[in-house]
Amino acid sequence: MNGGERAANGDRTWSVRNILRSKVEEVLLGVLVGWAVIASVVAGIRLLRPPPVVSTERRAMQDALHAATVTLPHLRRGLSTDSAAKTIGYLHALNQALAVALTTADGEVLAFDGDGADHHLPGEPLVDIAAAGRRDRIHISSRIACSHPGCPLGPAVLAPLVVQSERVGTFAALFAHGHRLTPDDTRTATETASLVSAQLELAEMETQAERLARAELRALRAQISPHFVYNTLAAIASYIHSNPDEARELLTEFAEFTRYAFRRQSPYVTVADELAFVEKYLRLEHARFGDKLDVRLHVSPDVLQTVMPMLSVQPLVENAIRHGVERRGQGRIEIVGSEIGTDIELRVSDDGVGMEAERREAILNGKSDGIGLINVQSRLRATFGQDYGLEIESVVGEGTTVTMTLPKFRAGVRAA
């Protein structure tokens, strides 16, 4: 692949990533607005009750926000019978309806709460989507179709659950016979559907971000240096006759190195796991360089359980060896990990040949020959946002320090 193709691929990758990030920001804003509106509507309804007014309003807002908050972990796993069942009761609390339901895109019940739950069961049809007009519009029905004798339900507000412009289900607010639907009924049902849709949208965004992380991880695996593999095997071979025990240990380290690098679990690991992998890598490099390679590791225990994209530190260390030890014939590699407020910082330093400012910019912008550092940079930013990633400081003839910053915690980012 020539430089122009790499730059084009890099531009497309950044474009996809920017679109995902923009969508996530829009969804988060929608969630916050939805919560505020729901809390205000519920509070307004409850203000009609007897005093004390202030405590009733505060209690209504607390109840609404609590009900909204507890639905989040379940809906972030997508819309299913299980997630719907775990959230339907809380969604009911956000509405003044006699009953509420979540359905599939075809109108079949996923979960139902309230009067009529004895005969409106999961898997049963509740909403005729075809008769409800446009699939992306709210629909008001004077009476839902129900053949069960004595069903107390009459009018309904049917609000679509939309993810990336596609209807994936329906939120139904169901009322008693004779109830006259009010604008508040419609608005509350609509905002509840927006809340559910926003969480489902975030779940889909997280899935897409993880797919992107996995794709870029595959690209990084594909370029694991054949030079490193060849030299490692050559070093192991040199020990077979002179020190067979050492050769066996190195082969074990090499097997564990490849097992970690190519495992098919989550693309995220803890800092502790990543550093254990880096130590195996350095053990193999030490077999090549011996005492010419000096490694110093200073990592605070407080950062070890932080979750990060796997294969994020090893490319930094490999780059330090290639531009430090290999070019000078000997050198020092230092890895330092520390807390900085709610973030952590990992620094990889070498005392190698260093680089000029133009070279540093080219590396972080994906305009250099190698893909290791830009791959790490893009995965960090895709996972944690533009405030996180890599910075490079270097002095020609003195060495280079690459600093990685990442948050100590990020919702949805979990190690295997």
CATH number at residue 142: 3.30.450.40
Q: How many angstroms separate the CA atoms of 190 and 172, rounded? A: 9
In a domain, 230, yes or no: yes
318 and 194 in one domain?
Answer: no
Residue 235 vs residues 20, 229, 231, 287, 318: alpha-carbon distances, Å: 45, 10, 6, 6, 17
> What's the one-letter identity of residue 287?
A
In a domain, 340, yes or no: yes
147 and 278 in one domain?
Answer: no
- 178, 206, 234: which is the final residue of a domain? 206
> What's the one-letter identity of residue 136?
D
In a domain, 274, yes or no: yes
Say which residue the tokens 């079949």 belong to: 108
168 and 248 in one domain?
Answer: no
pLDDT in tens, the chain (416 residues): 444 444 444 444 444 444 445 554 454 445 444 555 554 544 554 444 444 444 455 555 555 555 556 665 666 667 888 888 888 888 888 777 899 999 988 888 999 999 989 888 898 888 765 555 455 678 888 777 787 888 888 889 998 888 877 888 899 999 998 888 888 888 888 888 888 887 787 666 655 555 555 555 555 554 555 666 767 777 788 778 888 888 888 888 888 777 776 666 677 899 999 999 899 889 888 888 888 999 999 999 999 999 998 888 988 998 888 877 888 888 899 999 999 999 999 999 999 888 888 888 887 776 665 567 887 888 888 888 888 999 999 998 889 999 999 999 887 788 86
Measured in whole angstroms, the distance separating CA 313 from the mean position of its chain's CA atoms is 19
236 and 187 in one domain?
Answer: no
Measured in whole angstroms, the distance separating CA 397 from the mean position of its chain's CA atoms is 40
In a domain, 89, yes or no: yes
Exposure string for 365-397, b = 16+ CB within 10 A, e = fewer:
ebebeebbbbbbbbbbbbbbeeebbbebebeee
In a domain, 412, yes or no: no
pLDDT at residue 222 in the model = 47
Q: How many angstroms separate the CA atoms of 413 and 250, rounded? A: 33
pLDDT at residue 52 in the model = 43
230 and 196 in one domain?
Answer: no
- 179, 206, 233: which is the final residue of a domain? 206
253 and 174 in one domain?
Answer: no
179 and 54 in one domain?
Answer: yes
186 and 40 in one domain?
Answer: yes
241 and 201 in one domain?
Answer: no
Exposure string for 102-119, b = 16+ CB within 10 A, e = fewer:
bbbeebbbbbbbbbbeee
- 174, 206, 238: which is the final residue of a domain? 206
pLDDT at residue 197 in the model = 82
pLDDT at residue 205 in the model = 61
Q: How many angstroms separate the CA atoms of 232 and 226, rounded? A: 10
Residue 118 vs residues 113, 126, 147, 379: alpha-carbon distances, Å: 10, 13, 13, 49
How far the first Cα of the chain sits from its last, in Å, is: 33
In a domain, 265, yes or no: yes
Structural domains in the chain (count): 2
pTM score of the predicted model: 0.49
CATH assignment at residue 362:
3.30.565.10
288 and 140 in one domain?
Answer: no
Question: Domain range holding 39?
Answer: 10-206
In a domain, 218, yes or no: no
In a domain, 413, yes or no: no
111 and 68 in one domain?
Answer: yes
297 and 355 in one domain?
Answer: yes
pLDDT at residue 230 in the model = 66
